[in-house]
Amino acid sequence: MLLILSWGMFLCCLQGQSDPLFVKKIQQHRKAYLNDFKKNPASPLGKKELKNVQFFAPDEQYMVLCQFSPTPDAEPFEMPTYSGVTKPYVQYGIAKFSLAGVDYQLSIYRSVSNTLPQYRDYLFVPFKDLSNGEYTYGGGRYLDLRIKDIVDKKLTLDFNKAYNPYCAYSDGYSCPIPPEENHLKVSIPAGEKVFMGKKKHP
C-alpha cells in the first residue's frame, strides 16, 4: 500500500499536479473566503456577484518556505492607500524565499493603529508582481499572516491564498498600496485572479 501511495505521489509530481490533500485545503480556504463576503455588512459584493471572483488552480510550487529576519528597530511609517488617506504600519520583518531557483524577499508589516486584542498578532503582506494588470488586479494583492506562523525564524507564504483588496471590486475603500520594496519582478499565477465583474463607482 505504501508503495502504491508513493508511486501515485511520484506521478503527480511528474505531471505537475498538486497533491489532492493540498488542493482540498485550498478549496476549503476559498469557500470560507467567499462566505466572508456574504457575512460582512461592509462587503463590496453581493451574493450574485461572487461568481465573478475567480482563482488560479491550486499550485504547490507557490507555497514557499521563507527565512524570516525580524526588524525590531524599524520605524513606523504611513502607508498610502488608493483612496488618498494613509495608514500607520511598521515593518515587522523580512521573508526571503526562492521561486524557480531565483531569490526574492517581501517585507511583512504590522498595523500600528489596530490595537484590538483579537488582531494584535495579525501581520500583513501587500505585494505586486508581473501578473498585475493582466491576469490579476492591477493594484496588487494581499496575504495575511499571524505572528504564531513564524517558528524558528521560518514561515510559509502561500500565494494560493493571495487575495484582492476591496478596491478591486469598488471605489470607496482605503486599500493600502503595496510599497515598492514589495514589487516582485516575477509573475505569480496563484491565488485570486482579476475580478471578472464590473467595478462599482458609488
Q: Where are the domains of the chain?
A: 20-182
Handedness of CA 141, 146, 149, 152 (dihedral sign): positive
Joined grid coordinates for residue 150: 513564524
Cα dihedral value 92, 97, 22, 35, nearest 10: 40
Q: How far is CA 67 from CA 62, 98, 142, 178, in A?
A: 15, 10, 19, 21
* Pair 156, 63: CB distance under 8 Å: yes
Read off the amino acid at residue 146: R
Residue 124, strand partner residues? 109, 144
Q: What is the pLDDT of residue 17?
A: 66
Q: What is the pLDDT of residue 202?
A: 82
Reading the block at residue 67, the C-alpha cell is: 527565512
Q: Tell me if 192 sits within 8 A of 37, measured CB to CB.
A: no
Q: What is the pLDDT of residue 8?
A: 39
pLDDT tens track, the chain, 202 positions: 433 333 333 334 434 567 999 999 999 999 999 999 999 999 999 999 999 999 999 999 999 999 999 999 999 999 999 999 999 999 999 999 999 999 999 999 999 988 777 788 999 999 999 999 999 999 999 999 999 999 999 999 999 999 999 999 999 999 999 999 999 999 999 999 999 999 998 8
